[in-house]
Amino acid sequence: MINAVLLDLAGVIYDGEEVVPGAAEAVARLRAAGLPIRFVSNTTRSSKPTILARLAKLGLSVPSAELFTPAEAACDWLRERGRTAHLLVHPDLVSEFQDLPANGGMAVVIGDAGDAFDYQSLNAAFRKLVDGAELLALAPNRTFKDADGKLSLDAGAFVAALEFAGQRQAIVLGKPAPGFFRSALATIPCAAAEAAMVGDDAETDVAGALNAGLGQALLVCTGKYREGDEARFAPAPSATVGDVSAAVDWILARRHGTE
């Protein structure tokens, strides 16, 4: 039985500056079927308002409460624990980290900083870790599909570098952290076993969702997908489908447990 759907954004709903063909209609079909939707994105180069505006421009009106981002999760974590943030994030994401504790213990927050990744910034973060700061990774993705259509390094390589040098394990706040999936489902609410995830990343989206206890996770062959991805990570996808439209076909055919 499928009672809720989690959707990735980049590579599933949009690809670069273009909507994936049929994506808006696919989302509308889920809504028409009465299935609650939550959008769970590991994008850490754009603020939440920017992402919502981008979706609106592509013809998708998404309420703020339906979109979950690692930056939001990080801010919640910092406030709950009274920690001060040392940011190693993209300049466009800095606005998300407002009104945080200023005098608590330190936590390094690392996302996809893009060109802001350089020796000076990485070494400054490393020194905070040496001084006892915790390490928060917004997302550990290995790659993303860049504007030129090719894969580029994502934040994961830089997270690994700081883990190695700082001799500490990062606390991951976005996908594939189980808590990220569960926090989205808790707002519906829906049991994890009755939810389906749709993503283009076999590791963070699909295996991450299944490890978090979701009943189904579908891999789409758009975005960063490369041939053979479905066999590279465990657990394997519940199904590998062409795109989000095909994923919605699959979900609606099985939502009542009839197939």
Q: Could you tell me the domains of the chain?
A: 4-42+176-254 (3.40.50.1000), 70-172 (3.40.50.1000)
Mean residue pLDDT across the chain: 96
Q: What pLDDT, in 10s, does the model give residues 108-133?
A: 999 999 999 999 999 999 999 999 99
- Which distant-in-sequence residues (6+ apart) come within 8 Å of 40 by Cβ? 6, 7, 8, 68, 175, 180, 181, 184, 197
The total number of residues shown for the chain amounts to 259
Q: What pLDDT, in 10s, does the model give residues 68-108?
A: 999 999 999 999 999 999 999 999 999 999 989 888 899 99
- Which distant-in-sequence residues (6+ apart) come within 8 Å of 107 by Cβ? 77, 78, 81, 83, 84, 85, 86, 133, 134, 135, 136
Q: What pLDDT, in 10s, does the model give residues 128-141?
A: 999 999 999 999 99
- How much is the pTM? 0.92
Check residue 259 and give its pLDDT. 52
Reported confidence tier of residue 251, pLDDT bands at 50, 70, 90: very high
Mean per-residue pLDDT for 216-243?
Answer: 97
Check residue 230 and give its pLDDT. 96
Q: Is residue 89 within 8 Å of 111, Cβ to Cβ?
A: yes
N-to-C CA span, the chain: 10
Fill in the amino acid letter for 41. S
